[in-house]
Structure 1
């Protein structure tokens, strides 16, 4: 057995946990609110973690929430753009066929 002292574990930032949970919920149940909440909580958590200088953990959770939130927002924006292009093209096709 080694006799090395056990390092205390820094507590996890609640905002980091909230960011990850909201990021997952954005993909499952709360598309826009979950993604926005994940991004906001993720940035706030990373700020708090940096300011704590090692006494607060959860940076990976915050990054995970940020990735999930931003990815979902990108998918939403692309979906809206594709819907506009599709229905705009459909309207143009109908208008062209009417003449």
Structure 2
């Protein structure tokens, strides 16, 4: 099984929630990722590329392989901060 996902990583749940609302109102995920994400993936618009089960931290792995595709999930807490995650595809 593999999937492609993208995410935005920020320091607080409130910041993640704010960005989630901006995406819901039509702002582009990749633009917001480039501007606000603290993950190195920010320069790729939050693109994590193709991942397989077990490659990401547990909480993110669960979202990528168990939650609905194309929806924005989060804020999800990890040891790195708070994530918004979108599964682009999974097969």
Question: Shorter-chain TM-score: what band?
Answer: under 0.3
* Greater relative contact order (CA < 8 Å, ≥ 6 in sequence): 2
The structure that is helix-richer by fraction is 1
TM-score by length of 2: 0.27
TM-score by length of 1: 0.25
